[in-house]
Structure 1
Amino acid sequence: MRTTLLTLTAALAALAAAPSARAADPDNAVVVPQVDRRDIKLPKFPSNDFEVGLFGGVYSTQNFGSSVAGGLRLAYHINEDFFVEGSAGRTKVSDEAFRRILPGGIFTGNTETLIYSNLNVGMNVLPGEVFFGTNRAMPSQVFVLAGGGTTRFNGQRMQTFDLGVGVKVYVADWFAVRVDMRDNIYTLDLLGKRDSTHNVELNAGLSYLF
Structure 2
Amino acid sequence: MRQPAFKTLAMALAAGAALASPAFAADGSSADQAIVPQVDRRDLKLPKFPNNDFEVGLFGGVYSTQNFGSSAAGGLRLAYHITEDFFVEGAAGTTKVSDEAFRRILPGGIFTGDTEKLIYSNLNIGMNVLPGEVFLGSSYAMPSQVFILAGGGTTRFNGQRMQTVDVGVGVKVYVKDWFALRVDMRDNIYTLDLLGKRDRTQNVELNAGLSFLF
Asked if Structure 1 and Structure 2 have the same fold, meaning a TM-score greater than 0.5 normalized by the shorter chain, the answer is yes
- Deviation above 3 Å: which 4+ runs of structure 1? 8-15, 22-29, 36-39
1:48 partnered with 2:39: no
1:30 partnered with 2:37: no
CA–CA separation in structure 1 for the residues paired with 2:89 and 2:67: 29
Residue in 1 that maps onto 2:88: 84
1:71 partnered with 2:54: no
2:166 alignment partner, one of 162, 166, 184:
162
Q: 3-state SS of the aligned residue for 1:207?
A: strand
Residue in 2 that maps onto 1:184: 188
Deviation at 1:9, TM superposition (A): 6.8
CA–CA separation in structure 1 for the residues paired with 2:18 and 2:125: 79
Aligned pair count reads 204
8 Å CA contact retained: 2:25, 2:31:
no
Calculate percent identity across the aligned residue pairs. Answer: 83
2:142 alignment partner, one of 138, 144, 151:
138
1:123 partnered with 2:127: yes
8 Å CA contact retained: 1:131, 1:137:
yes
CA–CA separation in structure 2 for the residues paired with 1:149 and 1:174: 28
Which one-letter code corresponds to 1:87 in the other structure?
A: A
1:203 alignment partner, one of 197, 204, 207:
207
CA–CA separation in structure 1 for the residues paired with 2:127 and 2:142: 20
Deviation at 1:13, TM superposition (A): 5.6
Which one-letter code corresponds to 2:183 in the other structure?
A: V
Q: 3-state SS of the aligned residue for 1:92?
A: strand
CA RMSD of aligned residues (A): 2.5
- The unaligned stretches of length 5 or more in structure 1 are none
8 Å CA contact retained: 2:169, 2:185:
yes
Residue in 1 that maps onto 2:5: none
> TM-score, normalised to structure 2's length?
0.85
Deviation at 1:44, TM superposition (A): 1.0
- The unaligned stretches of length 5 or more in structure 2 are 1-8
8 Å CA contact retained: 1:23, 1:29:
no
Deviation at 1:190, TM superposition (A): 2.4
Residue deviations 1:117-155, cap 9 Å, x none? 011111111111112222222111111111100000111
- Cα 1:11–1:26 change in 2 (3 A) is closer
CA–CA separation in structure 2 for the residues paired with 1:158 and 1:14: 96
